[in-house]
Amino acid sequence: MTVPVALEVRRLTVSYNARPVLWDVDAAFPAAALSAIVGPNGAGKSTLLRAALGLVASDSGQALIQGRPVRSALGRVAYVPQRDAVDWDFPITVREVVEMGRYRQTGWVRRVARSDRMLVEDCLERVGMRPYATRQIGALSGGQRQRVFLARALCQQAPVLVMDEPFAGVDARTEASLLGLLSELRDTEGRSVIVVHHDLATARSAFDWALVLNVRAVACGPVSEALTAATLRRAYGAVTTDAPGEQEDLWTT
Amino acid sequence: MDHLIELIPLPYTDAVVALGAAILGITAGVLGAFAVLRGRSLVGDALAHSALPGVAIAFIVTGAKDTGSLLVGAGVAGIVAALLMVGIEQTSRIRPDAAIGVVLSSFFSLGIVLLTYIADLNNASQAGLDTYLFGQAAGLLERDVALMGALSLASLVVVAVLFRPFKVTLFDPSFASSVGLRVRVLEITMTTLIVVAVIVGVRAVGAILMVALLIAPTVAARQLTGRLGRMLVLAGVIGAAVGVSGALVSMRAEVPTGPVIVLVAFGTVLLCLLLAPGRGVLWRAGKLRRDRRRARNEGVLVDLDTAVHAGPPPTERELAQLSGRPRREILRGLRDLHRTGMLERDGDRIFLSGAGAGAAHGVHERRHLWTLWLEHGAELDLPDAREPDPHDLRASLGDEHTERLFALGTWRPPSP
Amino acid sequence: MSTDVTIILTAGLVATATGLIGPFLVLRRVALVGDAVSHAVLPGIVMVYLLFQTRAPLAVVVGASLFAVVCVLSIDALKATGLVKSDAAIGLVFPLLFSLGVLGITRYASGIHLDLDSTIYGEIAFAPFRTVSIGGFEIARSIVQLACVSVFNLALITLLWKEIKATTFDPDFSRTIGIRPALLSRLLLIAVAITAVIAFESVGAILVVTMIIVPAATAYLLTDRLWVMVALTVSIGWVSALAGHTGASAIDASIAGAMGLAAACGFALVLLASPRYGLLARAVQRARRRRAIASALESAAPARPVA
């Protein structure tokens, strides 16, 4: 039996201004696992997610969520975008932001149901933001803001959670506690989490699966196989110092 | 001035108007850039409206409808409005557009109240104080054009002198203040320059239509170049061309000048937005289609090449299964490849032609080169920060470096 | 109904109709769309006049609305190319439409007095004199019209509250949950266009432009809750209407102008004295912080060993 797949892209090519950002990329992320997408700046990590969700147009290829074309399966994904697109001065409270996670289920025109509001409180509790529920979103720290957006994604109750650089500029304590929460989601609820990540050390220790990306998919597989000195060198163009073992083999001359 | 007008091969009055329109176009084009690039394109709109209380107060003070004093009134009100806009933005969380809106509506409301006050004075000559909103270039006198020219020249000199500080402030205000530039002063100067541009244009095209003239040349020029210096020059040239052609057309057709200039300006913007190489909407759409088609055809070609090497020539259905692409993509790719002579068919079976095999080899080579680049790019010691183009690494790196890359690819560290 | 009450009610209803939408325009950084529409309706009025030789209010409102909608949709389309920012798009579109109107007047309708002030740019002082009879009651036409628009706008923002909120705050996220930001943006802009045109006809352009922007900007300085911002915007609009009317009758000035000035004064006051975002409050906070630091340093100083 094959492992169920949460998100898969096939032959994905995306270009901006004639340059391919992604070039014929094949990748699959297993269900009920924590997957990291790593690669240098400009490697197309965010683009991969955005194209997979249909937020940017792709030149060719397709994306499947739990084996279905994205268009019909968007309800199965919760997406946490990079945070710079948001207007922090917007007069909105933490609770209202999290409530947005229920809008798809609520449907047009109708108000958010009472049961959904209970769920919102529950999600706030899980990320530790319950005491700040009535704060204006801009009054929070970077780490707290990220917790809010994670709560919004949790609230969507989607089997697949896709996060774009959630830990960029976030303090170590928040990163550790959010990573803990993500693995709890995987273990207790079998959710699949796919994260664009920048820190190779935590990618190795906390994640199950990794895609090493640099325009091409350099490697995709279990962390131990995907994050080797050789693959990282191909992705980053130089030896990364924190790759274990193997370095000696390559550089003892 | 006289000499300049005599040089223009037009009847005297037409020459005056054409010259005025040219001055106006250059000024609006160059100075407008400082509004558009700062995301405050509608500053001109607020200044146009704020002229009303200025004109009204000048009238109350002098009691006469003298063009000079009214313009001074409009100018002073404009500068006050500009200071208020900058002040509101910098001291509160109000965004530029709302700050402009607040100043615009406050000043115009004040202007209306003042007009009712003037009407109460029962002074017959107050009628038409608000006609400055429209303007009429046909009535331009040589004296007006001389004044416009002087103001325009002065402001262009300011731009030339302060070009570098302006550039830094526009691009990165926090860096500007870190190197000791007085950003606030510079921003106020930029806004004041726009006040001058509005004053220059008021007589000829009216305040409202100046809004478009401040914006259009910059938007058009931005489509054609990405460099600030060139853009300012280009905006000036476009502004002048738009102004003169609009003025000439309007005189032939005996219609008001301002609206015609605005129509010409908008037409120019639309053309640039649609067609400009690199940025135009249609240009990009065409490029996108070609890119997509190329990506698809290359992908299908490689899939076919792989299939042919792996076993007997496949059918369409087998190829679709093998490649994992949607069937429609395969069919379209095969159609294109067939048309360019890359394929041969034998019944259901598909082969690569000689040309096709060559092309597939080319794609493989480029992909191989890209892999080599990823692996050994850091060892290449490129002389500058050139970025590789994955599609055509050879062209973007140069032959010499490409050969080195191939050499590095075959080089293995000797085992100890 | 007395003249004064009618005028205040009319202005208050303008404040309600525009105040329900204004906050979203300010938050979406397209506050000046109202001003754009005020100029862009001219060709509509001219066209109706040229085609039907009429200046009847209904025909004029229909023609003006047509061009108001053309105006906002063109702005939206220009912005959607990603090549022009929203402010530049506004500043390109409305002068174009205004130019078409001016050309239309001078080319085909010159000699006929198609005065801007008296066609669509209505005058609030005349509102009490244009009445309709409803169930035997003589009631000002403008009140009926504006009440309808207010109810419509109220329905729009209550029904689509969460959609409008989500697309304004985080358009990217909205797309992933199946709410199309482009659609909501267009809906909102069309609502502004229609509201503005109907309000112009009753009270004149500048009061409408003012009521769209100034109360919303004022409320933005006072609160961090969206629904409070909307409620405050409407209330500030009513207060401005009342204060402006009182002021206008005291000094016998233009009513619309005085109401606009009252709103402007309200903004200035809040800018200075808002408890959270006002200049004074922030100056006090700064001073307090400075004093706290100074006293902390002082109390720490004796503890340090003296060299």
Pairing relationship of beta strands A34-38 and C137-140 according to DSSP bridges = unpaired
Indicate the helix (H) or strand (E) that contains A9: strand A5-16
Residues C263, C234: contact at Cβ < 8 Å?
no
Pairing relationship of beta strands A5-16 and A60-65 according to DSSP bridges = antiparallel
From the candidates B288, B371, B374, B392, which should be mutated to test the interface with A, based on the most A CB atoms within 10 A?
Answer: B374
pLDDT bucket at C120, cuts 50 / 70 / 90: low
User: Quick check: C11 pLDDT over 90?
Assistant: yes
Q: Calculate what percentage of chain A has a pLDDT beyond 90.
A: 43
Chains contacting chain C through 3 or more C-beta pairs under 8 A: A, B
Tell me what pLDDT residue A243 has. 45
Q: Do B377 and A216 touch (CB under 8 A)?
A: no
Report the gap between the CA of B325 and the closest CA in chain A (Å). 7
Q: Say which DSSP state A130 is in.
A: G
What is the average per-residue pLDDT within B348-357?
86
Tell me what pLDDT residue A248 has. 38
Tell me what pLDDT residue C117 has. 46
Place of tokens 């005297």: B12
Tell me what pLDDT residue C198 has. 92
Tell me if chain B has a CB within 8 Å of the CB of C96: yes
Of A27-41, B121-135, C277-291, the poorest mean pLDDT is in: B121-135
Tell me if chain A has a CB within 8 Å of the CB of C160: yes
Token duo for residue B232: 């300012």
In sequence order, which ranges of C81-115 are alpha helices (DSSP H)? Answer: 86-108
Closest chain B residue to A230, measured at CA: B375
Report the gap between the CA of B334 and the closest CA in chain A (Å). 15
Tell me what pLDDT residue B386 has. 67
Helix (H, G, I), strand (E, B) or coil at A218: strand
Q: Which of residues 215-234 of A touch B (CB under 8 A)?
A: 215-216, 218, 233-234
- The Cα B237–Cα B163 span in angstroms is 18
Cβ contacts of B297 on chain A, cutoff 8 Å? none
Closest chain B residue to C36, measured at CA: B45
Tell me if chain A has a CB within 8 Å of the CB of B92: no
A/B interface, count of CB pairs below 8 Å: 66
Please state the ipTM of this predicted complex.
0.90
Task: State the CATH class of domain B2-276.
Answer: mainly alpha
Tell me what pLDDT residue A253 has. 30
Q: Do B281 and C107 touch (CB under 8 A)?
A: no
Report the gap between the CA of B129 and the closest CA in chain A (Å). 41
Angle (nearest 5°) at CA A84 between B273 and A78: 105
Of A17-21, A152-156, B78-82, C291-295, the poorest mean pLDDT is in: A17-21
Cβ contacts of B98 on chain C, cutoff 8 Å? 26, 29, 31, 213, 216-217, 220
Report the gap between the CA of A87 and the closest CA in chain C (Å). 6
| Cβ burial B55-69 (10 Å sphere, 16+ → b, else e) | bbbbbeeeeebeeeb
CA atoms within 13 A on the CB side of C120: 32
CA atoms within 13 A on the CB side of B84: 24
Cβ contacts of C224 on chain A, cutoff 8 Å? 91-93, 136, 139
Domain limits of chain C?
3-301
Report the gap between the CA of A245 and the closest CA in chain C (Å). 42
**What are the strands, taking DSSP E only, across B156-287?**
none
Q: Do B416 and A253 touch (CB under 8 A)?
A: yes
B/C interface, count of CB pairs below 8 Å: 186
CATH of domain A5-83+158-251: 3.40.50.300
User: Quick check: B264 pLDDT over 90?
Assistant: yes
Provide the mean pLDDT of chain C. Answer: 89
Token duo for residue B247: 């003025």
Report the gap between the CA of A75 and the closest CA in chain B (Å). 23
User: Which tens digit of pLDDT belongs to each residue from B370-409?
Assistant: 777 777 777 777 777 666 776 677 777 778 888 887 777 7
pLDDT bucket at C110, cuts 50 / 70 / 90: low
Range C247-251, long-range pairs (CB < 8 A, 24+ positions): C249/C4, C251/B117
Tell me if chain B has a CB within 8 Å of the CB of C130: no
In sequence order, which ranges of B281-387 are alpha helices (DSSP H)? Answer: 281-310, 316-323, 327-339, 354-376
Place of tokens 């402001």: B155
Token duo for residue B143: 């004296």
User: Which tens digit of pLDDT belongs to each residue from A221-252?
Assistant: 999 999 988 888 778 866 544 444 444 333 33
- What backbone phi and psi angles, to 5 degrees, belong to A36? -115, 140
Closest chain C residue to B104, measured at CA: C210
Residue B409 Cα distances to A168, B373, B385, angstroms = 35, 9, 22
Tell me if chain B has a CB within 8 Å of the CB of A250: yes
Tell me what pLDDT residue B233 has. 94
Chains contacting chain B through 3 or more C-beta pairs under 8 A: A, C
Tell me what pLDDT residue C199 has. 92
Q: Do B109 and C87 touch (CB under 8 A)?
A: no
Tell me what pLDDT residue C303 has. 54
- The Cα A177–Cα A126 span in angstroms is 10
Closest chain B residue to C212, measured at CA: B101
B333: which residues sit within 8 A by CB, 6+ positions away? B296, B297, B299, B300, B301
- The Cα B100–Cα A80 span in angstroms is 34
Q: Do C177 and A104 touch (CB under 8 A)?
A: yes
Helix (H, G, I), strand (E, B) or coil at B399: helix
Give CA C162 to chain center in angstroms. 21
Q: Calculate what percentage of chain C has a pLDDT beyond 70.
A: 93
Residue C166 Cα distances to A88, A99, A124, C30, C177, angstroms = 13, 10, 18, 17, 10
C238: which residues sit within 8 A by CB, 6+ positions away? C12, C15, C16
Tell me if chain C has a CB within 8 Å of the CB of B160: no
- Give me the residue from C34, C39, C277 closest to B208, CB to CB: C39
In sequence order, which ranges of A79-190 are alpha helices (DSSP H)? Answer: 94-99, 103-106, 114-126, 142-155, 172-189
Tell me if chain B has a CB within 8 Å of the CB of A60: yes
Tell me what pLDDT residue C42 has. 87
- What backbone phi and psi angles, to 5 degrees, belong to A40? -70, 170
A/C interface, count of CB pairs below 8 Å: 72
Q: Do B42 and C216 touch (CB under 8 A)?
A: no
Residue with the larger pLDDT of the pair B151 and B254: B151
Q: Do B266 and C217 touch (CB under 8 A)?
A: no
- Give me the residue from B378, B390, B391 closest to A238, CB to CB: B378
Tell me what pLDDT residue B105 has. 94
> For residue C62, how many other CB atoms are within 10 A of its CB?
13
**What are the strands, taking DSSP E only, across chain C?**
131-134, 137-140
Tell me if chain B has a CB within 8 Å of the CB of C292: no
- Give me the residue from B291, B324, B375 closest to A59, CB to CB: B291
Tell me what pLDDT residue B126 has. 52
Tell me what pLDDT residue A20 has. 73
Residue B119 Cα distances to B59, B131, C183, C206, angstroms = 12, 16, 47, 19
Task: State the CATH class of domain B283-352.
Answer: mainly alpha
What is the average per-residue pLDDT within A59-78?
87
β-sheet bridge partners, residue A19: A16
Indicate the helix (H) or strand (E) that contains A209: strand A209-214
Report the gap between the CA of B83 and the closest CA in chain A (Å). 24
B400: which residues sit within 8 A by CB, 6+ positions away? none
Residues C157, C16: contact at Cβ < 8 Å?
no
Token duo for residue C121: 């740019």
- The Cα B319–Cα B330 span in angstroms is 8
Q: Do B101 and C32 touch (CB under 8 A)?
A: yes
Report the gap between the CA of C298 and the closest CA in chain B (Å). 31
pLDDT bucket at A183, cuts 50 / 70 / 90: very high
User: Quick check: A151 pLDDT over 70?
Assistant: yes
Give the closest residue to A212 by CA, choosing from A192, A229, A235, A196. Answer: A235
Q: Do C171 and A85 touch (CB under 8 A)?
A: yes
Tell me what pLDDT residue A240 has. 47
Closest chain C residue to A93, measured at CA: C225
What is the average per-residue pLDDT within B160-178?
89
Provide the mean pLDDT of chain B. Answer: 84
Give the closest residue to A195 by CA, choosing from A55, A84, A86, A48. Answer: A48
Tell me what pLDDT residue C159 has. 95
- The Cα C236–Cα C243 span in angstroms is 10
Cβ contacts of B288 on chain A, cutoff 8 Å? 57, 59
- Across A135-149, B20-34, B50-64, C229-243, which has the greatest mean pLDDT? C229-243
- The Cα A124–Cα A105 span in angstroms is 18
Report the gap between the CA of B63 and the closest CA in chain C (Å). 19
Report the gap between the CA of C155 and the closest CA in chain B (Å). 25
> For residue C249, how many other CB atoms are within 10 A of its CB?
13
Tell me if chain C has a CB within 8 Å of the CB of B205: no
Domain with CATH 1.10.3470.10 in chain B: 2-276
Tell me what pLDDT residue B303 has. 86
Tell me if chain C has a CB within 8 Å of the CB of A63: no
- Give me the residue from C210, C264, C277 closest to B92, CB to CB: C277
Token duo for residue C136: 């035997």
Report the gap between the CA of B130 and the closest CA in chain C (Å). 11
From the candidates A83, A92, A164, which should be mutated to test the interface with C, based on the most C CB atoms within 10 A?
Answer: A92
Closest chain A residue to B368, measured at CA: A216
Helix (H, G, I), strand (E, B) or coil at A112: coil
- The Cα A56–Cα A22 span in angstroms is 12
The length of chain C is 307
Token duo for residue C218: 């004022």
Token duo for residue C142: 């403008």
Pairing relationship of beta strands B349-352 and B343-346 according to DSSP bridges = antiparallel
CATH architecture of C3-301: Orthogonal Bundle (1.10)
Domain limits of chain A?
5-83+158-251
User: Which tens digit of pLDDT belongs to each residue from C45-54?
Assistant: 888 888 888 7
User: Which tens digit of pLDDT belongs to each residue from A187-197?
Assistant: 999 999 999 99
Pairing relationship of beta strands B349-352 and A160-163 according to DSSP bridges = unpaired
User: Quick check: B143 pLDDT over 50?
Assistant: yes
pLDDT bucket at B415, cuts 50 / 70 / 90: very low
Domain with CATH 1.10.10.10 in chain B: 283-352
Sheet arrangement for strand A160-163: A77-80, A160-163, A192-196, A34-38, A209-214, A216-222
